A and B are shown apart, each in its own frame.
Chain A
Amino acid sequence: MTALQRIRQEVDDYHPFLKLLILLVGAGAAAGIARFVFGLGATTNLSDTYPWGLWISFDVVTSVPLAAGAFVLGAIVHCFHIKKLEPLIRPAIVTGFLGYSLVCIGLLLDLGQPQRGWHVFAYPNLHSPMFEVALCVMSYTTVALIEFLSPVCEKFGLHVPLRVLRTIEVPLIVLGASIATLHQSTIGTFFLIAVDKLHNLWYNPILPLLFWISAVFTGMNIIIVEAVLVHRYLKQPDETELLSTLTKIIPWFLGIYLCLKLYALVFLSARPLFDRPMLTVLFLAEVVLGIIVPLILFMGKRIRTNGSLQLLAASMVVFFGLVLNRFNVSMFGMIQKNQQTYYPSFLESVVTVGIIAAHILFFALIARYFPIFEHHPETVDYEIPDHFQRIDKHPVAEERV
């Protein structure tokens, strides 16, 4: 049997949903090629009025905080030492790594001269938020890749690299969290330059801080969404009890975020605030459905034991509190009065759908071929200096069910 046949057999085995995803990813890739063949003007609805469109708003500004789960959970588990959440950390790292890789792909498609990406190193401009984000995203993607190597090495039984990875695990998490803090907030700094363009509802000097806090709570909510979906569709154990720990942390961040947002609105924003009905509705949707309602849900008792309720509240935060917020800031709030509106073109949408599909597809495939849900420390030779007490020397054959 040739390799090709083997691959075909393997793919035939996949769930129809995965096959659909493969199709969408293929379509996205074709659309991406079309962008380079026919040019940005012919394939997108971008214009001099809207130099940034769906690709920046979703594939970069929104995807980066959506991939925040890895650094947030890493810090919770390894720095704050809430060890019981460790089973969630590998899926979170995979999501983070995939998310950032796809951000890089989205960015390369959107750049006019992607072949010159290295110019960022050659001609750095320390006053540019874009320089800062480019540097951070590249280094964070590298960190996430290194973190992701653990299950890969386990899969192939590479014990020596695994030991090295174990040794640098905590420093790597600290480094990753610090880098992520920088670029999560600096994406907010992008829009500080749009002082006469971004609507007053969103423009305020603490936008970078708001972006960082919302990235942190989104990271936790994404983990909840992911864990519940993985339990339902990938036949993994029910993690409701573990997730209840996160549901106790989330309301603090949501609460602080809400207070800061209202403070910024009242004291730090220019007037008028509510002069455009459509923007007011979008703002209210973001605040009420994305922060206040989930905050109430997360403060209740019932959410600690109810997986469906966790999924509902977490999805509300992700869709309204984060995705809508980022679109409000980077797209809707930037539209001026009496300006023609921007709609993404068909090709732009196909690329973005392809990127989302790629994320889900690669996650499912990695889950299929690499040990990301089951951790088997007992299979590893751990005769290494263990400064961080990371390794249980006498593994108890204790199966989590």
Chain B
Amino acid sequence: MSASTTTDISQQRTFLIDLTRCTGCRSCQVACKQWNQLEAEKTCFFKGEGYQNPPTTSEHTLTTIKFRDYQKHGQNEFAFYKEMCMHCNDPACVSVCPVSAFIKTPEGPVVYDTERCIGCRFCMVACPFGIPKYQWSKALPLVMKCTGCYSRIKEGLIPACAKACPSAISYGSREDMVNTAQKRLAARPDKYVNRIYGLNEAGGTSVLYLSALPFNELGFKKVTMQPLPSFTWAALRFVPAVFITMGSTLSFISWLTHRKERLRKEAEAGKGAHTEHKEAKP
């Protein structure tokens, strides 16, 4: 059932975000807001962790650069982390949505159909990266999430953030992006931690990261390496069998007990008739 086993993911469009090349200029944030026509947020400095602004992604901010200060050789350094939808190969949000409002497109991005959503927010509970956000300000709210600029991809463009980024984001087929990442890791083992985040996380994602700092120190979530839908499917696939087993077992037991009862009653009636017959004879 999992998308990763049935479809070839090597050609899916993938972001390679090299965090060592990120300068924290946040033009990706700006481009995202402009392309998606998202409202501005009232923010202030140092509300969240350090310089990052706004402090978290939200219904108005679908991608954000997280800032992390650290010391290296006695010098203050910055590390950055571009938080966005990971566009998993086998996404949890797609599997849990009761009305199929999420779709993993063949091109790669995971998109959301605003017309279908009933607002159960299971996607928010299920997403291991905490990406879907909710329009809490509205009476009949919808989910907001990065679409991987699906509308731009359809027109042959690349996503707004990738286009705006001066240094860190590469965009292309997953195969190429994985190769590029591996080459960079091999060429500068001193510069990077030896890991491509997203290669296997949550069963593999269409966003890959390289970093100089260990990923957990940057605020990356610790996630399983298996596709998340496999966890629920392990139980859910038994549903038809359980229904049939339960139904037939109970039916059989009912039939058995009622038959026993009927036989008992008939025996009693027979005995009664017999004694009556006896009594009538003399």
Q: CB within 8 Å of B: which residues of A?
A: 36-42, 46-49, 51-52, 75, 78-81, 110-117, 119-120, 122-125, 127-132, 134, 170-171, 173-175, 177-179, 181-182, 185-186, 188-190, 192-197, 205, 207-208, 334, 388-389
Contacts and interface: CB of A to CB of B under 8 A. Distances in A.
Nearest to B229: A127
A130 B120 contact: yes
Interface string B216-248: 000001111000110111111001001100110
Nearest to B138: A39
Interface in B94-130: 95-101, 116-122, 124-126, 128, 130
6 contacts: A52-B121, A112-B141, A113-B140, A124-B99, A179-B243, A193-B92
A55 to B, nearest CB: 11
A112 B125 contact: no
A75 B232 contact: no
A38 B130 CA distance: 25
Contacts of A116: 99, 116-119
Given A130-B122, A389-B258, A196 B116 contact: no
A173 B255 CA distance: 13
A192 B234 CA distance: 9
B136 A40 contact: yes
Interface of A, helix, strand, loop or mixed by DSSP = helix
Interface string B17-54: 00000000000000000000000000000000000000
Nearest to B262: A389
A192 B92 CA distance: 11
Interface string B64-82: 0000000000000000000
B11 interface: no
B118 A119 contact: yes
B222 A41 contact: no
B254 A39 contact: no
Given A119-B116, A193-B228, A127 B139 contact: no
B210 interface: no
B272 to A, nearest CB: 12
B122 A128 contact: yes
Nearest to A126: B236
8 closest Cβ pairs, A-B complex = A112-B119, A41-B136, A81-B257, A51-B124, A131-B98, A51-B121, A130-B98, A178-B247
A131 B98 CA distance: 4
A38 B139 contact: yes
Nearest to A47: B136
A178 B243 contact: yes
Nearest to B56: A48
Contact of A79 (B235, B243, B254): B254
A114 B118 contact: yes
Contact of B118 (A78, A112, A178): A112
A193 B232 contact: yes
A134 B135 CA distance: 23
Listed residue (A46, A120, A197) with the most chain B CB atoms within 10 angstroms of its CB: A197
A175 B138 CA distance: 40
B119 A111 contact: yes
B1 interface: yes
A45 to B, nearest CB: 10
A193 B95 contact: yes
Interface of B: 1, 56, 58, 92, 95-101, 116-122, 124-126, 128, 130, 133-142, 221-224, 228-229, 231-236, 239, 242-243, 246-247, 250-251, 253-254, 257-258, 260-262, 265
Contact of A132 (B117, B133, B236, B247): B236
B101 A182 contact: no
A79 B128 contact: no
A216 B141 CA distance: 36
Given A193-B125, A207-B235, 10 more contacts: A41-B135, A51-B124, A51-B134, A112-B117, A119-B116, A125-B98, A128-B97, A130-B120, A192-B231, A192-B234
A79 B118 CA distance: 38
Contacts of A197: 125, 128
Contacts of A174: 247, 250-251, 254
A132 B122 CA distance: 13
Contacts of A188: 235
Nearest to A82: B257
A200 to B, nearest CB: 13
Nearest to A122: B99
Nearest to B252: A79
A175 B247 CA distance: 7
B258 A182 contact: no
Nearest to B92: A193
A175 to B, nearest CB: 7
Nearest to B131: A48
A178 B98 CA distance: 21
B124 A48 contact: yes
Most buried by A among B124, B236, B257: B236
Contact of B242 (A41, A112, A185): A185
A194 B134 contact: no
B232 A123 contact: no
Contact of B254 (A78, A119, A131): A78
B143 to A, nearest CB: 8
A128 B243 contact: no
A239 B130 CA distance: 51
A186 B236 contact: yes
B99 to A, nearest CB: 4
Given A48-B133, A116-B118, A182-B239, A123 B246 contact: no
A186 B236 CA distance: 7
A132 B120 CA distance: 13
A126 to B, nearest CB: 8
Contacts of B136: 39-41, 46-48
Residue among B136, B223, B232, B258 with the highest chain A CB neighbour number at 10 A: B232
B234 A52 contact: no
A52 B120 CA distance: 9
Contacts of B258: 81, 170, 388-389
A119 B119 CA distance: 11
